[in-house]
Amino acid sequence: MKVSVILVNYNSAVLLRQCLKSVYEQTKGISFEVIVVDNASSDDSRQIVHSEFPDVKLIESPVNLGFSRGNNLGASVAKGKYLLFLNADTILVENSITLLADFLDEHPVVGAVGPKILFEDRHFQLSAGRLPGLAVEFIDKIVHFFARRWRKVVCPILEHWYSNTKAPGWLTGACLMVRHNAFLQTRGFDENIFMYFEDKDLCKRINSSGWQIIYYPQTSIIHILAGSSGSVDKHKINELYRTSQLYYYRKHLGRLQSVILRWYLRATGKLQCQR
């Protein structure tokens, strides 16, 4: 088995069907399996998998495990040489799985690789970058603000900057292919992180273990941004994001940056959901 495609799903039935359909339609010339970890969905996600995608290995969790634990659960039964962590709100438009696997075959020092990612309207979507820190996140926030407000102007500029293969600090977990032995070496996703920052944390640890992290824009997929979390209350999303952000800072960036971040979040009212 060359690739194990792992999707964690939570109440994303329509998107899940669309994603799985694209995986089976677009993936050619490679052996692969698909594993769906359903996080106690209340919609008809599980029924869709059972009835429309009988080849999928479905793991039905009685509780919502979150992305980190859900992905680790899927990886624990995976047989592939490579693990492709794929969001349910993504759509494959070409044979990206084979191209990413071929890249890992050709570059044994690479521990993880990610493709170019596009919005539904095919504008460029940032999916790689420098690892978090106070200065980096401040600059990234400005970039994302302008990218959202003036997409038609800013996104082509960003796409030009990211037009070549490069080694960033992190790749998005929306579509992340990881060498299985590198994943095992770093003990997978940090299960203290429910969602958000789990991809950055994993990439940092893979890189620290001696593997390269590579952004590979020669193939692309579509990502319906926030589609997987669209059914979750926005206040809950903010709470989860800030909890993970603070955890990442404590784990990797030390007390000073953690204290400054917490002070800033409190001063701006963004920590009101935090205990």
Contact 116, 124 (CB under 8 A): yes
Across the range 26-37, mean pLDDT stands at 98
What three-state secondary structure class fits 237?
helix
The runs of H, that is alpha helices, within 209-268 are: 234-252, 254-267
What is 3-228's CATH number, 3.40.50.170, 3.40.50.10490, 3.90.550.10, 3.40.720.10?
3.90.550.10
Domain locations along the chain: 3-228, 233-275
Residue 133 exposed, middle or buried by CB count within 10 Å (0-12, 13-18, 19+): middle
Contact 64, 37 (CB under 8 A): no
d(CA 113, CA 123): 21
pTM for this model (two decimals):
0.93
pLDDT value of residue 271: 72
Q: Is residue 210 pLDDT above 80, yes or no?
A: yes
pLDDT value of residue 229: 53
pLDDT-based confidence at residue 222 (cuts at 50, 70, 90): very high
Contact 4, 78 (CB under 8 A): yes
Partnered with residue 216 across adjacent β-strands are: 115
Across the range 144-168, mean pLDDT stands at 92
Condensed to tens digits (0 to 9), the pLDDT of residues 69-102 reads 999 999 999 999 999 999 999 999 999 999 999 9
Write a three-state SS string for 35-97.
EEEEECCCCCHHHHHHHHCCCCEEEEECCCCHHHHHHHHHHHCCCCCEEEEECCCEEECCCHH
| Residue 139 backbone phi and psi in degrees, to 5 | -65, -45
Condensed to tens digits (0 to 9), the pLDDT of residues 192-207 reads 999 999 999 999 999 9
pLDDT value of residue 231: 56
| Residue 122 backbone phi and psi in degrees, to 5 | 75, 10
Q: Is residue 274 pLDDT above 50, yes or no?
A: no
